[in-house]
Structure 1
């Protein structure tokens, strides 16, 4: 062998073609419900997305059930304050089993049954959730009950006990009493002696919910006048998830030392997509509040938004304390989430439409393992574009992260 010529080594002889050695295993994917843009139900699609991993301080949850809430409709239409950047995996709450725990994450083990409260990302087969927003479920709680509990019952508890200071002998007006939060409020009211509950709901719900309240009115009627016929002074507490003209009625209905609390604005959702007219009308109809008038009349006005409290104002310790109180009430059978129906991911558009039409009695649940409803050829054609098969790789929606 001439000088400068080097014999090939065994390693060089075994070297694989360039690129093969660096090839990484394909990333695992999961089925997710993704909002691809703001608008109607056609913007919500079932897609394959990369599986998340548990980062430091996070818990990876294998999702068994997801809660569907009215704010999900508002997110889809883009009428929420600070809407997310799309595409994004939807959903604010889920229940399931811990599959992995990130570094420096304490209090959880693989196999724990938990509830997760998320800032988007819950409607998927797997969800990576900060441990501050994960709660171990009672042993006797089903996954469906777990997914129906956090947003509705924490909201109801804060409104009634921490903000309104509900006490024996009080009277409460609750709108949308047939919905998830409405059911939670009426159940918690029954934990206090001698509370009178006035409720409003669409007439087709009355037979199913009339036992939950003391007096029930069709929302389309002059319910304020009817309440005055029963309680001439009005009520001690008004809990309003509607806004617009119902705000004015509610403030006028509260007694001296009474409290009006706004926790939603569902009146702005009318059609399938965002209506600038409905949005503007909801706020134009609200009278300007005068602090001097409140001072003279001894009335109090406030508001509450759970997601903002947790994710923007950092009150997760406060919320955890309330969740533990709710678990105790659940274990003593004083509260029990009402589940209206369970839906497959592929049927999320129909589930949203049911809430939009105000036809649900209690909570709607998504189950990532449920089989979609069989559809006729005509139904499938009409629904084309509303969802995509979970194996469709053509969508260029990105990671689905916020």
Structure 2
């Protein structure tokens, strides 16, 4: 089968596509013929050796996937060959076939096409876990989303509104912010032309925001933390800016703020039943038309390097998808 391979850590241009051995599922595993793979910002980091998880070289990147079950391993009872599914893996999805743990592989709703299904799990799974389980966001609270036009950011905007919050979306240009407004953002901040801390104070009448959703890191994290309200929650989701900020610890002390880590992949593996409940809720909302993943572009497998370059260069709004087979 064909697969994208990372043979040495480096930029997207260093990836190659080649034939690799066919796969066979073990117990509680599912072999899936991949139809689509959704790209996420961690994919750009893992190929450079900059992510917290470093697979043994060479490896196939890619986490979000949708496809058709080819074979199931012993002990898998909820799926069978021929079922249309979506799911996630630590890596390996940018290929014609992938092995998926059975507890991370779900039946695809008939009304959800493969590109949408491959765009769904990591973005919405991460954001729902962050807002519901980690921040315990309440109706009427104010939520600030940094990097709000990206895959997880846009999902956080949508879910924040569904949960009853007032949502402030922050992004780097007006085009991205227009998309955030169309997804329900109540207020917008262009942090390339507006001072984040000052604007937050103005928007909230000096109170500050109750929850910060931060998948960006870099220079904006401290300003967002300074813009939190008393007993606020600061969600550490990722570091798309490339720099891991060093936060002065007197700030959470003075504001009674909780800094809360969000690692959805770890949560999903350690708490599969809770993750399943979250997934079912998200599926229900999708079926009701309350969630609408935004796909920026669809690329062929052979164009994976170009797609990842587009993501690194901050040109993407919503999700990029790789079409396979």
Shift of 1:207: 3.4
Matches of residues 211-222 of structure 1 in structure 2 within 5 Å? 211-212=182-183, 213-220=185-192, 221-222=194-195
Q: Distance in 1 between matches of 2:258 and 2:53?
A: 27
Shift of 1:296: 4.9
- Alignment-derived partner of residue 235 in structure 2: 261
Query: 1:37-89, CA deviations, whole angstroms, 9 ceiling, x for partnerless residues?
Result: 10112221111111101222111111111010000001111111241111101
Q: Distance in 2 between matches of 1:208 and 1:250?
A: 21
Higher RCO structure (Cα 8 Å, ≥6 apart): 1
Gaps of 5+ in 2: none
Q: Distance in 2 between matches of 1:206 and 1:337?
A: 16
> Does 1:367 pair with 2:323?
yes
TM-score normalised by L of structure 1: 0.76
Aligned partner of 2:201 among 222, 228, 251: 228
Q: Distance in 2 between matches of 1:190 and 1:83?
A: 35
Q: Distance in 1 between matches of 2:137 and 2:262?
A: 16
What is the total number of aligned residue pairs between the two structures? 321
Q: Distance in 1 between matches of 2:37 and 2:182?
A: 27
- Alignment-derived partner of residue 376 in structure 1: none
Shift of 1:318: 2.0
- Alignment-derived partner of residue 299 in structure 2: 343
**Structure ID, larger Rg:** 1
Change (3 A) 1:199 1:316: same
Asked if 2 retains the 8 angstrom alpha-carbon contact of 1:245 and 1:286, the reply is: no
Q: Distance in 2 between matches of 1:166 and 1:287?
A: 23
> Does 1:320 pair with 2:291?
no
Shift of 1:295: 4.9
Asked if 2 retains the 8 angstrom alpha-carbon contact of 1:55 and 1:102, the reply is: yes
Q: Distance in 2 between matches of 1:244 and 1:205?
A: 19
Asked if 1 retains the 8 angstrom alpha-carbon contact of 2:169 and 2:187, the reply is: yes
Q: Distance in 2 between matches of 1:260 and 1:353?
A: 29
Matches of residues 151-230 of structure 1 in structure 2 within 5 Å? 151-193=122-164, 195-203=165-173, 204-212=175-183, 213-220=185-192, 221-230=194-203
Q: Distance in 2 between matches of 1:238 and 1:139?
A: 35
Q: Secondary structure at the match of 2:119?
A: helix
Q: Secondary structure at the match of 1:141?
A: coil
> Does 1:83 pair with 2:41?
no
Q: Distance in 2 between matches of 1:109 and 1:121?
A: 21
User: What do you get for the CA RMSD once the two structures are aligned?
Assistant: 1.6
Asked if 1 retains the 8 angstrom alpha-carbon contact of 2:196 and 2:223, the reply is: no
- Alignment-derived partner of residue 107 in structure 1: 78
Q: Which moved more, 1:34-43 or 1:195-204?
A: 195-204
Gaps of 5+ in 1: 1-29, 269-281, 370-402
Asked if 2 retains the 8 angstrom alpha-carbon contact of 1:95 and 1:146, the reply is: yes
Shift of 1:246: 2.1
Asked if 2 retains the 8 angstrom alpha-carbon contact of 1:247 and 1:286, the reply is: no
